[in-house]
Amino acid sequence: MRNYKIATLTIAGSDSSGGAGIQADLKTFSSIGTYGMSVITAITAQNTQGVFGVEELSQEIIKNQIEVVFDDIPPKAVKIGMVSSPEIILEIVKGLNKYNPEFVVVDPVMISKSGYSLLRPEAKENLIKYLIPKAYIVTPNIPEAEEIVEKEIKTLEDMKVAGNKILSMGPKYVLMKGGHLEGDAIDVLIGKDVFEIYKSERINRKNTHGTGCTLSSAITSYLALGNGIKESVRLSKEYITEAIKYSFDIGYGVGPVHHFYNFEKQEEAVCTH
């Protein structure tokens, strides 16, 4: 059930072409039915063909955005995406410590689909040491997980081993995303007493710009709306699978996934005035 009085926040980078980053996150929040807000960490000049420039925002304005948002509309769940520098990571961790949101979803964004690095190499240490331990759930894809555990991942068994290693770094749950392997798209959820496999058929489409951002924002929304972790991931996997199925050609490169908007009657949305 949608509830526009439940706020969700994305702390991430802007994608000027609207397919990934902040823009994908806000589209997902709206489509699932939470009130979306944003703290922008960096601006990327990006389109379906690649990333052509990045400008990080200052620590001051990032801190300022976090404080004014939390002081006015405390989000129930927060998603963290592109956080490119060690200093930006520390600023965000300070904010999380100050406000203690119930759910923190960390998508450890490192490299864009087009191969552009969105995390400075020197930021990896802070990501692992300070941000991942704050996560309720962390959602690495295969290359990100390989970078975090410093080991190659080729099979489902490798995914389990790496997932457990990441779990030992402090988050409550790890969702290992298998989109980069061959065959079915298999994601694995690992927690202390949780082990779940989410499987969908691989959809043969080139337009997968923003899949990771969309999945982690969907999890953020479903958690905020009161679903448990397994149900949140199940619903999010369903969301991303449909979004990829109906992705479309726009631009000359890797197009975006499609966000569905179900404009139900006003009275069906929970939104008391």
Ligand X SMILES: Nc1ncnc2c1ncn2[C@@H]1O[C@H](COP(=O)(O)OP(=O)(O)OP(=O)(O)O)[C@@H](O)[C@H]1O
Residues marked as catalytic: 177, 208, 210-213
| Min separation Cβ 235 and ligand HMH, Å | 21
Using CB distances below 5 to 8 A depending on partner kind, what does residue 234 bind out of ligand HMH, ligand X, none?
Answer: none
| Min separation Cβ 54 and ligand X, Å | 15
Q: Counting contacts by CB under 6 A, is residue 44 touching ligand HMH? A: yes
Residue among 62 and 254 whose Cβ is closer to ligand X:
254
What is the biggest distance separating any 2 CA atoms in the chain, rounded to whole angstroms?
53
Residue among 6 and 209 whose Cβ is closer to ligand X:
209
| Min separation Cβ 236 and ligand HMH, Å | 16
Assign residue 152 a region (left: φ > 0; alpha: ψ between -120 and 50; beta: otherwise).
beta
Member of 27, 76, 177, 259 binding ligand X (CB under 6 A)? 177
Stretch that binds ligand X, among 9-17, 28-36, 124-132, 180-188 (CB under 6 A): 180-188
CA atoms of 14 and 141, how far apart (whole Å): 20
Using CB distances below 5 to 8 A depending on partner kind, what does residue 179 bind out of ligand HMH, ligand X, none?
Answer: ligand X
| Min separation Cβ 3 and ligand HMH, Å | 26
> What residues have CB less than 8 Å from 270, skipping those under 6 apart?
1, 2, 3, 4, 5
Rounded to whole angstroms, what are the CA distances from 42 to 45, 101, 119?
A: 10, 22, 11
Residue among 171 and 212 whose Cβ is closer to ligand HMH:
212
CA atoms of 7 and 23, how far apart (whole Å): 16
Stretch that binds ligand HMH, among 9-17, 90-98, 176-184, 251-259 (CB under 6 A): 9-17
Count of beta carbons in the 10 Å neighbourhood of residue 59 = 16
Q: Counting contacts by CB under 6 A, is residue 213 touching ligand HMH? A: yes
CA torsion 92→218→237→20, rounded to 10°? Answer: -70
| Residues composing the chain | 273
| Min separation Cβ 272 and ligand HMH, Å | 34
Buried b (16+ CB within 10 A) or exposed e, 164-186: ebbbebebebbbbbbbebeeebb
Q: Counting contacts by CB under 6 A, is residue 178 touching ligand X? A: yes
Q: Counting contacts by CB under 6 A, is residue 213 touching ligand X? A: yes
**Interface with ligand HMH by CB under 6 A: which residues?**
12-13, 15, 20-21, 44, 46, 81-82, 109, 112-113, 118, 212-213
